[in-house]
Amino acid sequence: MDWLEKRFNEFKKSREERNAVVSASEDIYADVWGKIVAAVQPANTHGARLVLNGFPLHYVMRMGDRNFSLVLADDKCSIEARFSDAEPIIISLRMCEDGTVCLRCVGATLTPASAAQLIMERFLFEGGSPFVVPIASGTD
């Protein structure tokens, strides 16, 4: 029954990896949010007028009528940035090859800082942001 032993070992490894992800998830989420918060003051010096609100595991940032929320999923295996006027960003928490818990989004491995940058780029410079420069239309 080598196949049976193999399957139970795979199950055990998978369960251990998930437990590691769940154990690290709140600290990683807080680290990403901390990097986002660190961008508030510099963005506000450029006129962004960002306001923070919410509660742990469901933070909210507002800029005028726009907002986004950063939510740790109930299963603690992903972080979702939900925007009022743009597609969400879903960042998965997974085990990396080196045995640490890492952030993954669209096939790329992210650090908390690069995850925060990805989220803030979308919020500040896409969608209905006042910092989006419209493309000129007309004829050449």
Closest by Cα among 18, 63, 53 to 33:
53
Angle at 128 between CA 86 and CA 81, to 5 degrees: 30
**Within a domain: 95:** yes
Total domains, the chain: 1
**Within a domain: 83:** yes
**Within a domain: 106:** yes
Residue pLDDT tens, the chain, 140 long? 799 999 999 999 999 999 999 999 999 999 999 999 999 999 999 999 999 999 989 999 999 999 999 999 999 999 999 999 989 999 999 999 899 999 999 999 999 999 999 999 999 998 888 888 777 766 65
Domain range for residue 46? 2-125
